[in-house]
């Protein structure tokens, strides 16, 4: 995942601690988190074949 996207996930998390996220921010956060989790899962599946 691109550093920009990870930075944005972290930025939204910081904002959420200060104030409620807008609906648009919540949607963006959910999309970015899903993309991140999908990439991690994909990497883990790829690494699992080397046993």
State the CATH number of the domain containing residue 36. 1.10.287.540
Q: Are 6 and 33 in contact (CB under 8 A)?
A: no
Q: Is the dihedral of CA 18, 23, 28, 33 positive or negative?
A: positive
Q: Which residues, in sequence order, are CB contacts of 16 under 8 Å at separation 6+? A: 29
Number of domains in the chain: 1
Q: How confident is the model at residue 50 (pLDDT cuts 50, 70, 90)?
A: low
* pTM for this model (two decimals): 0.82
What is the per-residue pLDDT across 1-47, written as a single tens digit (0 to 9) for each? 899 999 999 999 999 999 999 999 999 999 999 999 999 999 999 88
Domain with 12, as residue range(s), is: 3-48
Question: How far is residue 24 from each of residues 28, 29, 43, measured CA to CA in Å?
Answer: 6, 9, 29
């Amino acid at each position: 995942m691109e550093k920009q996207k990870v930075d944005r996930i972290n930025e939204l998390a910081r904002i959420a601690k200060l104030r409620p996220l807008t609906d648009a921010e919540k949607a963006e956060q959910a999309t970015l988190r899903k993309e991140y989790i999908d990439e991690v899962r994909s990497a883990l599946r790829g690494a699992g074949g080397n046993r």
